């Protein structure tokens, strides 16, 4: 499970699980406070904020070449660009220092944090179990806007990115220029923009009005890719290894930095 669909809204599951885990930690801290323990809620909030800032700063620094061209995008956290290791590198020593200086917080802070983390890990594991893992490329032929249909299997042998989109989808339209530019620029990775369940005339008309190149665009009139990979909504971007198997998926709009991050991971040597 990668996201929850609520009407026109596509809500990625990981931030929702993180929010639920945070609320559980706050609830446990409040219960302990009513039982006579020290109030750990302010410390929980401070550590959460510190961790988020550090994780975002780490992500920005790791992709500074992208952010330098548009510095204001550093504040747009909708791309979910956070570097966990950077956040932990700051939060762990900060929490240790806090607990050393304020012994009364040790039991309520550790108990509430442990409860939140355990809930997040278990819920994330359940969500991962419901998500398709390592699926091979399906035996499909995708239509082009000019020329015959092409078998998807011919892309096997090098990393592949499949962006599933539609012309009626606002976030799809916003990220399309970014992906088309990346498709033109990339040499080691093939990027295909696969429109879902629309006819060629509709897609061709939209691309012409938007002034976008159609070379990387493919058509999937039956939505077979979305069905095969159990995509919850659009846009969804699938990152497929050179072996033809699904490595990762991003539900929702991509930023330049997030795309750069996923492409780096996709082309990194296998460990």
- 79 and 156 share a domain? no
| Residues 163-184 pLDDT 10s | 999 999 999 999 999 999 999 8
CA distances from 22 to 16, 146, 251 (A): 10, 51, 22
pLDDT of residue 139: 85
- 124 and 147 share a domain? no
pTM greater than 0.85: no
190, 159 Cβ separation under 8 angstroms? yes
- What's the CATH number where 215 sits? 3.40.30.10
Query: Encoding tokens for residue 34?
Result: 């009513």
- 101 and 151 share a domain? no
- 62 and 173 share a domain? no
Q: Judge whether residue 27 has pLDDT over 80.
A: yes
Residue 134 in any domain: the answer is no
Q: Among 77, 109, 129, where does a domain finish?
A: 129
235, 164 Cβ separation under 8 angstroms? yes
51, 90 Cβ separation under 8 angstroms? yes
Domain that holds residue 117: 3-129
| Residues 40-93 pLDDT 10s | 999 999 999 999 999 999 999 998 988 888 888 888 887 888 898 999 999 999
Query: In angstroms, rounded to a whole number, what is the distance separating the alpha carbons of residues 204 and 190?
Result: 21
Q: Among 87, 108, 129, where does a domain finish?
A: 129
For the residues of 216-238, what is the DSSP string, one character each? TEEEETT-HHHHHTT--SSSEEE
Q: Among 129, 159, 190, where does a domain finish?
A: 129
Q: Judge whether residue 271 has pLDDT over 60.
A: no
């Amino acid at each position: 499970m990668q996201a929850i669909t609520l009407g026109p809204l596509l809500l990625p599951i990981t931030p929702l699980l993180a929010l639920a885990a945070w609320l559980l930690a706050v609830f446990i801290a409040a219960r302990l406070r009513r039982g006579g323990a020290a109030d750990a809620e302010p410390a929980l909030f401070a550590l959460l904020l510190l961790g988020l800032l550090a994780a975002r700063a780490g992500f920005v620094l790791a992709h500074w070449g992208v952010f330098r061209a548009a510095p204001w995008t550093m504040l747009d956290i909708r791309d979910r660009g956070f570097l966990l290791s950077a956040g932990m590198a700051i939060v762990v020593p900060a929490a240790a220092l806090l607990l050393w200086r304020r012994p009364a917080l040790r039991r309520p802070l550790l108990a509430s944090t442990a409860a939140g983390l355990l809930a997040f890990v278990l819920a994330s594991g359940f969500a991962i179990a419901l998500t398709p893992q390592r699926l091979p490329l399906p035996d499909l032929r995708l239509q082009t806007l000019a020329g015959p249909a092409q078998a998807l299997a011919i892309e096997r042998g090098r990393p592949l990115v499949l962006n599933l989109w539609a012309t009626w989808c606002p976030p799809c339209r916003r990220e399309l220029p970014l992906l088309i530019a990346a498709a033109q620029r990339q040499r080691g990775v093939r990027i295909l923009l696969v429109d879902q369940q629309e006819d060629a005339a509709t897609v061709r008309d939209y691309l012409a009005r938007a002034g976008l190149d159609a070379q990387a665009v493919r058509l999937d009139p039956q939505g077979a890719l979305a069905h095969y990979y159990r995509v919850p909504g659009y846009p969804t971007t699938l990152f497929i290894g050179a072996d033809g198997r699904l490595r990762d998926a991003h539900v929702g709009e991509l930023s330049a930095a997030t795309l750069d991050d996923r492409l780096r991971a996709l082309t990194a040597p296998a460990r």
